[in-house]
Amino acid sequence: MTTIINFLNTVFWGYVLIYGLIAIGIYFSIRLRFQQVLHFGEMIRSITAAPAGDRQGISPFQALCTSLASRVGTGNIAGVAVALVLGGPGAIFWMWIVAFVGMATAYAESTLAQLYKVKDTSDATAVYRGGPAFYIAHGLGQPWLGGVFSVCLILSFGLVFNAVQANSIADAMMGAFAIPKIATGLFLAALTAVVIFGGIRKIAAVAEYVVPFMAGIYLLVAIIVVLMNISEVPAMLWHIISNAFGLTEAAGGVTGGVAAAMLNGVKRGLFSNEAGMGSAPNIAAAATPNPHHPSSQGFVQALGVFIDTILICTCTALMILLSGVYTPGGELTGTQLTQAALSDHIGTVGPWFVAVAIFFFAFTSIIGNYAYSEMALSYLGIGNKAGLMTLRVAVLVMVVWGALQAVATVFDLADASMGLMATINLIAILALSGTVVALTRNYFEQRRAGVEPKFRAADHPAISKGVDHEIWD
């Protein structure tokens, strides 16, 4: 079993996804005419517009916060440190590149999730359901493949990755405050239960407040650190760029030069922002976009990639690089390196701050990942009370278990599962790229005509097969 799992991970993460995610990001960037730069204002406009009258969905801002809840996790703190140690400062540049092209991929997958979403009539509080499984089934006509995708998502994001996040929290609490891991696990499970038993609406409501708060405080500390070292920042930014292309070598430790910087930057960037993985579209589908057009939610989720990597990961990188403790290829790595860097900048409170940040980042990842799993359960036709109860209990068990121990084979299985999930999603969005382009063209044609974009499925018979006309007409 271990041999098979390792082989799958080698194929997925050594070849298919590292190159596939970048290639498809470049493809969509070109086909959409680099709108992540030229139409950045649409991203801001899509989350600041007044809530729509349709109350079946959550608001665009709630959808953004819930996707950020999953995206912004330990990868933004520990993952960046790992990339720096293994790839040198140049790895950060390649994280930026991954985020840049990933914004186009995130736009494409979330636009499709909006287009093919369906109404959930199970109860009065239900939200729209959708995501890759739905556009694979209704857009490509392959419902069985949507089922495979859903099972992989539940296994990786819903169960095992939540155990990984709990393990990170337990380690941080033990290291900073000497809190026993079992106590952290039980407390975390109880806190998670309070949120997830309220369903997606409760998760979105919590994320709407917690995510801006946690990200805001983290960015504030980073800004203070940057201001304390402002004279060194221009040289440091040049150091990142020049190291990425081998113009200046990282001092000691890092072997592989440009290749090491690129590989580690790309890997950490992909794991952090999740663009193209097929995770964020699950919550994007739950939103009621304003303007009432699928592209609107695509812009919202593209902004999520920008916030996750360009802002938060860059902040972590600068705090580490501007400290006196960073050494390329050094012994300190992961969370320990970030804690040591903050200790260098702001004293003994630094490690405590990182521990608390990890708690919030990882906890919101748990509830965000659960929200994705609930969508997948709905697609499989078992999103009833019994199915949801089983999933919620399983998530809580995995949180407690993950806080206590880490079994490598199980985590490797989750990587393989996510690799298959992401591969299926990339094939689907590539096959449906014509639909993405048509929707984008329609959106901007209306903008240029001076009208608020609105999508009516009846006006677009070429792309409306499998679309719920009641939602879009």
372 vs 353: CA distance, rounded Å? 29
pLDDT of 337 higher than 60 = yes
Q: Which of 202, 209, 208, 206 is nearest to 374 (CA)?
A: 202
User: What confidence tens digit (pLDDT) does each residue in 443-461 have?
Assistant: 999 999 999 999 998 888 8
What mean pLDDT is reported for the chain?
86
**Greater pLDDT, 385 or 409:** 385
Overall average pLDDT of the 251-263 stretch: 65
pLDDT of 237 higher than 60 = yes
Domains of the chain: 12-442 (1.20.1740.10)
pLDDT band at 150 (very low <50, low <70, confident <90, very high): very high
pLDDT band at 253 (very low <50, low <70, confident <90, very high): very low
The 3-state secondary structure of the chain, one letter per residue: CHHHHHHHHHHHHHHHHHHHHHHHHHHHHHHCCCHHHHCHHHHHHHHHCCCCCCCCCECHHHHHHHHHHHHCCHHHCHHHHHHHHHHCCHHHHHHHHHHHHHHHHHHHHHHHHHHCCECCCCCCCCCCECCHHHHHHHCCCCHHHHHHHHHHHHHHHHHHHHHHHHHHHHHHHHHHHCCCHHHHHHHHHHHHHHHHCCHHHHHHHHHHHHHHHHHHHHHHHHHHHHHHCHHHHHHHHHHHHHHHCCCCCCCCCCCCHHHHHHHHHHHHHHHHHCCCCCCCHHHHCCECCCCCCHHHHHHHHHHHHHHHHHHHHHHHHHHHHCCCCCCCCCCCCHHHHHHHHHHHHHCCHHHHHHHHHHHHHHHHHHHHHHHHHHHHHHHCCCCCHHHHHHHHHHHHHHHHHHHHCCCHHHHHHHHHHHHHHHHHHHHHHHHCHHHHHHHHHHHHHHHHCCCCCCCCHHHCCCCCCCCCHHHHC
307 vs 212: CA distance, rounded Å? 11
**Greater pLDDT, 18 or 252:** 18
User: What pLDDT score was predicted for residue 329?
Assistant: 66
**Greater pLDDT, 82 or 318:** 318
User: What confidence tens digit (pLDDT) does each residue in 298-334 have?
Assistant: 999 999 999 988 988 888 899 899 887 887 766 766 7
**Greater pLDDT, 154 or 249:** 154
Phi, psi of 134 (to 5 degrees): -75, -40
pLDDT band at 251 (very low <50, low <70, confident <90, very high): very low
User: What pLDDT score was predicted for residue 211?
Assistant: 85
Q: Which of 357, 267, 373, 276 is nearest to 315 (CA)?
A: 357
Per cent of the chain over pLDDT 90 is 29
Q: Is 403 left (phi over 0), alpha (psi -120 to 50) or beta?
A: alpha
User: What pLDDT score was predicted for residue 69?
Assistant: 82
pLDDT of 338 higher than 70 = yes
pLDDT of 142 higher than 90 = yes
pLDDT of 102 higher than 90 = yes
Range in 150-154, 189-193, 254-258 with the lowest mean pLDDT: 254-258
